[in-house]
Chains A and B, each alone.
Chain A
Amino acid sequence: MPDTPAFPPTPSQTVGPFYGYALPFPGGGDVAPAGHPDAITVHGVVHDGAGAPVPDALLEFWQGGPGTGLPGSMRRSPVNGGFLGRNGVDFTGFGRVATDADGHYALRTLPPRTPAPLPYLSVCVFARGLMHHLYTRVYLADGEDALLGSLEPARRATLVAAPEENPARHRAYRFDIRLQGEGETVFLEFH
């Protein structure tokens, strides 16, 4: 029988509108090592319940498994405190991207490798107006998976990124996030 946590959690509060000079960092969306030939781009638009783009959402991406994460996502200069960018070699598995004025984000990363047989990127969504962050997943293809298998087709489709057909968008996948209403993205909770 699971025990009740003896220490009740600190409540969540919205990230608010002014995180922009604190949380995003240069290269936050460039998770793939520089020039890596397998790099993919996952991009899309975050929409609210009226279909309007959300220009102040912050997305975090995590891919990997136990023991796979390396430090260095936000390397800093001990000389002036500025950001140095990633070291160009290590794959930290962590990305952080703010949406732009059009609600658009882009992440450049390596294809996820875990879990088998159908790997995915984990996503955490923050925004002004969102009291408590939301989790979702980006699958690069549909397939055999416990979560996908539990969803009706229309809901399931919200978690599967679409490969871009435009050859100018080489190895790019489209993944929009709808916070509310028609086509609402499947959001997750973990127990």
Chain B
Amino acid sequence: MTTQREITAEMGAARGAYEKRLADGGGVEHHPSRAYAPYRSSVLRHPHRPLVAVEGDPEAVELSGPVFGATDVTALDCDLTRQHTGEPLGERITVSGRLLDGRGRPVRRQLIEVWQANASGRYAHQRDDHPAPLDPNFTGVGRVLTGDDGGYAFTTVKPGAYPWRNHDNAWRPAHIHFSVFGEAFTQRLVTQMYFPGDPLFPYDPILQSVTDERARQRLVAVYDHELSAPEFSLGYRWDIVLDGPSATWIEEGR
């Protein structure tokens, strides 16, 4: 099995290659390359051909997107600690922030879905056979619609780190998976939010697949003491910015 040392060397080489592209006048790469071999599962699952650009077509179906409403979420969905009869084990936290488009405008009434491991680092998924305990009081799934200011908030417990089989002694830093809709299908985003100061960051090929340092920082939430509730929960802030054109963007003559 590949060692962490080998994976770390490959990740360093990918960062070096990106820094060279930047120095040669290449643009900032905000998203990971789909061909990122240190994450082994990517090797056979990315296209070899370049993507075909669809540009400035105001009729493109992708410039609009699905709509979600009050029927699609329930009031308890944003509190992952209240979905069972008892309370889950772990450190209770809130994660809140704003959903924005590339111009900083709030993305209103859109759906955010989250899923995560429990405090021990175990998913409520049959294929997760990591020998850490399941928590009968925690599933780890939530949903929320953003407000008129693009704001969202979840209450949950801090997920644990967990091992995986990408390479020998591979561990994922603690993270929450996010799935986000914008007003256009082009703005769709699935990503992961991390916690500040996690010592596993340099070892993780999924986080490190984002080779731009500042872009990588945008995946890490900020601990905000103002958001912590006395004797109840610790507060993290994480704003999400969507990429991609939308119908309003085109109408404005972009």
Contact = CB atoms under 8 A, between A and B. Distances in A.
A70 B42 CA distance: 35
Contact of B209 (A49, A64, A65, A131): A131
Contacts of A8: 28, 30, 102, 214-215, 218, 241
Contacts of A184: 47-49
Contacts of B53: 188-191
B38 to A, nearest CB: 11
A20 B125 contact: yes
Contact of A11 (B32, B40, B117): B32
Given A81-B83, A126-B190, A131 B77 contact: no
Interface of chain A, main secondary structure = loop
A81 B52 contact: no
Which 10 A-B residue pairings sit nearest by Cβ, starting from the closest? A71-B69, A129-B41, A5-B102, A22-B115, A94-B66, A9-B243, A69-B67, A49-B44, A115-B59, A129-B45
Nearest to B40: A129
A188 B54 contact: yes
A131 B46 contact: yes
A151 B147 CA distance: 42
Given A65-B61, A94-B66, A130 B46 contact: yes
The SS class assigned to the B binding surface is loop
Given A6-B104, A13-B190, A16-B177, A131 B60 contact: no
Interface in A49-80: 49-50, 52, 54, 60, 62-78
Interface of B: 28, 30-34, 36, 39-49, 51-57, 59-77, 83, 100-104, 113-115, 117, 123-125, 127-128, 139-141, 177, 179, 185-186, 188-192, 206-207, 209-210, 214-216, 218-219, 239-245, 247, 254
Interface size on A, as a range, is: 35 or more
A127 interface: yes
25 contacts: A6-B102, A7-B102, A7-B104, A10-B218, A10-B241, A11-B215, A13-B209, A18-B117, A19-B177, A22-B115, A22-B140, A70-B67, A78-B74, A120-B61, A122-B61, A129-B45, A130-B45, A130-B46, A132-B32, A134-B34, A186-B49, A188-B53, A188-B54, A189-B51, A191-B54
